[in-house]
Amino acid sequence: MNAVDDTSVALGGDRVGSEEHHTLLGVVLDTHPAAWAGLEEQISLKQTVEALLVFINAHLSLSNSNKVVVIASHTSGARFLYPMPNKKESTVRIAHGPQMYRQFREVNEGILSELDRLLSETTHVKRLRTAVSGALSLALTYINKVCGQDARMSARILLISVSGDLSSQYIPTMNCIFAAQKKRIPIDVCKLSGDTVFLQQACDSTNGTYIKLDHPRGLIQYLMSAFMVEPSLRPHVHLGTQRDVDFRAACFVTKGVVDIGFVCSVCLCIMSQIPASGECPMCGTEYDPKALANLNKKPMVVVKKKAKKRKKLDSGQASAGPSEVGTPI
């Protein structure tokens, strides 16, 4: 918005704040139809998108140099909603009015148009899970491209999730988390439904914010208060992020979360059970059969011997009770 009122230019013609850092916001929107159908009584996908557009426009209004990329995490895969691929003409028109800022209009119409096209192409749900890992990969790739061209550009990712069971995507998602951690890209998660262990780990590892909403109808308030704060300002602001993080890992074989398991000494692959082939499912390392036999050995149960009964008296009779003993003379 700097170019609207030209406040970035001083009276003497010198540009003010030219060394300001600007931010690229990557938004990943979970668009799983079945998950949204279960939330229909609390909040709909339409209401969520409306709140999201307000949040995106507020981000763009902070600086004219701010940018945004929006990616849908769908059952058929990940897909860009904005910027529009191949510059397709928008089919959705909104009654904005002539006074609306042009960039806001382009973002709103572009996101709604691509989202409408994506949902219209979804005839029936083939997969039960959404492509969160693919959407995060696209977001990181786009961020790496844009930030590589502008060294002053910082980036962060916001994931709006409604799917609960994502254990099958643990490995690719953790790879995305490690990449974001290396690039110092915070990952924020706004959980509208369900709870996912490694999304908590993603926020904790990248210094992001994880909030599971108890009242999804107040989504716009959460977005504008908790998720609008820039990462550089968060140490000075108290955010309601989740502090108790579940650090359990998922099995690379069964994809389930485990408390106790086996770890490959080569690639650190975590397994709840040793494969029958005796090989690592990730790196293919062949394990020593003797070592596997020791690991699969059942624990030895030691039976505690019962205490011996107290020996009877030499006469073979039990001692007499107090009532049987005569009074001494």
Sequence-distant (≥ 6) Cβ neighbours of residue 173 within 8 angstroms: 132, 133, 136, 166, 198, 199, 202
- For β-strands 153-161 and 22-30, DSSP reports them as parallel
Tally of CA atoms within 13 A in the half-sphere of 71 that contains its CB = 27
CA–CA dist 131, 35 (Å, integer): 13
CA–CA dist 319, 317 (Å, integer): 6
pLDDT at 116: 93
Check: CB of residue 127 under 8 Å from CB of residue 76: yes
Of the pLDDT bands very low, low, confident and very high (cuts 50, 70, 90), residue 15 is: very low
- Alpha-carbon 203 to chain mean position: 7
pLDDT at 8: 46
| Mean of pLDDT values over 245-255 | 77
| pLDDT over threshold 70, residue 12 | no
Check: CB of residue 78 under 8 Å from CB of residue 137: yes
Report the amino acid identity of residue 175: N
Pairwise pLDDT comparison (155 vs 200), residue with the higher score: 155
CA angle 187–193–198, rounded 5-degree value: 40
CA–CA dist 136, 96 (Å, integer): 31
| pLDDT over threshold 50, residue 210 | yes
pLDDT at 54: 96
| pLDDT over threshold 60, residue 300 | yes
Q: What is the pLDDT of residues 136-184, one digit of tens each?
A: 999 999 999 999 999 899 999 999 999 877 777 877 888 999 999 999 9
pLDDT at 143: 96
Domain boundaries, the chain: 20-236, 248-298
pLDDT at 9: 45
Sequence-distant (≥ 6) Cβ neighbours of residue 199 within 8 angstroms: 159, 161, 166, 173, 189, 191, 210
CA–CA dist 26, 119 (Å, integer): 21
Max CA-CA distance within the chain? 128
* Neighbouring C-beta atoms of residue 190, cutoff 10 Å: 24
Lowest-confidence region among 51-65, 122-136, 153-167: 122-136
Architecture field, domain 20-236: 3-Layer(aba) Sandwich (3.40)
pLDDT at 163: 85
User: How far separated are the first and last CA of the chain, in Å rounded?
Assistant: 117
| Mean of pLDDT values over 313-318 | 52
Sequence-distant (≥ 6) Cβ neighbours of residue 94 within 8 angstroms: 105, 108, 109, 112
Q: Which two tokens stand for residue 315?
A: 């006469």
pLDDT at 291: 86
pLDDT at 28: 98
pLDDT at 180: 96
Instruction: Report the candidate in 210, 203, 161, 167 with the shortest Cα–Cα distance to residue 186.
Output: 203
Of the pLDDT bands very low, low, confident and very high (cuts 50, 70, 90), residue 223 is: very high
DSSP per-residue string spanning 54-88: HHHHHHHHH-TT-EEEEEEEETTEEEEEESPGGGP
pTM across the whole model: 0.77
pLDDT at 306: 67
Lowest-confidence region among 134-143, 270-279, 298-307: 298-307
* Whole-number percent of the chain with pLDDT over 90: 40
Report the amino acid identity of residue 8: S
Pairwise pLDDT comparison (120 vs 7), residue with the higher score: 120
Q: Mean pLDDT for the chain? A: 81
| Mean of pLDDT values over 83-89 | 66
Q: Which two tokens stand for residue 99?
A: 């006074």
Identify the three-state secondary structure at position 46: helix
DSSP state of 95: -
pLDDT at 124: 67
Q: Which two tokens stand for residue 202?
A: 């993603």
| pLDDT over threshold 90, residue 24 | yes
Check: CB of residue 8 under 8 Å from CB of residue 2: yes
Pairwise pLDDT comparison (112 vs 304), residue with the higher score: 112
| pLDDT over threshold 50, residue 104 | yes
What phi-psi label fits residue 78: left (phi over 0), alpha (psi between -120 and 50 degrees) or beta?
beta
Beta bridge partners of 24: 67, 155
| pLDDT over threshold 80, residue 242 | no
Identify the three-state secondary structure at position 33: helix
pLDDT at 227: 93
Check: CB of residue 277 under 8 Å from CB of residue 295: no
Pairwise pLDDT comparison (84 vs 306), residue with the higher score: 84
Q: Which two tokens stand for residue 4?
A: 């609207």
Pairwise pLDDT comparison (128 vs 118), residue with the higher score: 118
pLDDT at 298: 75
